[in-house]
Amino acid sequence: MSIWLLALSIFALILAVVPAWCFLVNVRLYAPPPPVGELTLGPPRISVLIPARNEEATIRGAVASVLESQGVELEVVVLDDHSEDGTGSLVLEMSTWDSRVRLEEAPPLPAGWCGKQHACWVLSRLARNPILVFIDADVRLSPDALARMAAFLTSKGADLASGIPRQETGSILEALIIPLVHFILLGFLPLGRMRRGRDPRFAAGCGQLFITTREAYDRSGGHDAIRATLHDGIKLPRAYRTAGLSTDLFDATGLASCRMYSDPRALWSGLAKNAREGLAAPRLIVPMTVILLGGQVLPLGFLALALAGWPQAWPVMAIPILALATASALMPRFLAAARFRQSYLGATLHPLGVLFLIVIQWYAFGRDRLGRPVSWRGRPYAATVSDENLISDPPINGS
């Protein structure tokens, strides 16, 4: 019995140390774009494209933040995707006092398209500038964000770049789960290998914020190539890499902010929606459950049991091993809390957050296997038509 408990402790340590080491390596590579110096070729010409469906509460702030951008020549195009609230009227009002703002109406949603992907594709056809920036309506940009992002795209020679904005959280549940996007990204994706090649398996991004050139967008097929997906954070970079183009990531903490979900119901629905094409993919859910449960949740639980002396067969050597495993599991979350301005309470309760995440993944997996549709922004979407599109996705669950 004691041999098995010791072996289990060592196994938990390995599962905790590997992502912790990967996180330490990646956090140095995942850097913000440097400040922009004097522009010798003039300000970049950028079209900021915002798909909006029932975004009355957020759209004004998004557009206003873009209009404060410095060092760029821009237009802001908002596509009102058949909103049932005052989204369109708010944008129309803003366009009357700033000619850089344009309101466009979305055509009917064609069969086989996800609403957001169709809206982004329509926006790309309406854009007038050579650099395209896609942002969600709940994203707020800093005044230097667009100029720095454009400089990053040019200096890195990337065709598509993305970054995770600072994630604002207003509840305990948000603080537990939302910051895990950084942990999953930096703990399981080898950024160095991603940058050395164009293998689609290492595609990753954040659907809240993308920058690309029009030429690369058209070569990749853009959102038309991922028309049926609900998870553009994975699928759009994957489409670029499949087309032989390069993608990259930058730290957007100081460039943008976002309150992803405003209540527990929206958080659950939103993460479950994305999970079907992320961690809850058929060939990922079991191994990722073992990795996350074994390396992030069980070490603390086993340590508590060992210290309590139950069962009495716990060997003395297991206690320092489990303590090291627990420290390895918590370390990335506390580093992320400092670096990405996240909740320290959420970091402290990291095992509980991972447990909630695993439950959401299995809920999404079961719902999909039962053929139950997903509803988002008032639109129902059918269950995944086949496993083929999910198998080779990397374990990144960005939004």
Domains with residue ranges and CATH for the chain: 2-26+279-381 (no CATH), 29-267 (3.90.550.10)
Query: In this predicted structure, what is the pLDDT of residue 387?
Result: 37
Query: Which pLDDT band holds residue 308 (cuts at 50, 70, 90)?
Result: confident
Are 220 and 245 within 8 A, CB to CB? yes
DSSP codes of every residue in 199-268 = -GGG----TTEEEEEHHHHHHHTGGGGGTT-S-HHHHHHHHHHHTT--EEEEEEEEEEEE---SSHHHHH
Contact 391, 281 (CB under 8 A): yes
Backbone angles phi, psi at 253, to 5 degrees: -55, -45
Contacts of 343 (CB under 8 A, 6+ apart): 169, 175, 179, 337
pLDDT range class, residue 50, cuts 50, 70, 90: very high
Burial 143-179 (b: 16+ CB within 10 A, else e): ebbbbbbbbbbeebebbbbbbbbbbbbeeebbbbbbb
pLDDT surpasses 50 at 391 = no
Residue 50 CB-density burial (10 A; 0-12 exposed, 13-18 middle, 19+ buried)? buried
Residue 241 in tokens: 């890499």
Structure tokens at 222: 């853009």
Residue-wise pLDDT tens digits, 178-192: 999 999 999 999 999
pLDDT of 58 > 50? The answer is yes
The pair of three-digit structure tokens given for residue 353, joined into one six-digit string: 């957050």
| 310 or 126, which is more confident | 126
Tokens of 28: 């140095």
Write the DSSP symbol of residue 319.
H
Could you count the other beta carbons within 10 Å of the beta carbon of residue 99?
Answer: 8
Q: What are phi and psi of 101, to 5 degrees?
A: -95, 130
DSSP secondary structure of 74-94:
EEEEEEE-S-SSSHHHHHHHH
Residue 40 has pLDDT above 60, yes or no: no
Sign of dihedral through CA atoms 54, 60, 65, 70?
A: positive
For the four alpha carbons of 220, 123, 136 and 43, in that order, the dihedral sign comes to positive
* 396's tokens: 């990144």
- The one-letter amino acid code at 77 reads V
Q: For the whole model, what pTM was predicted?
A: 0.92
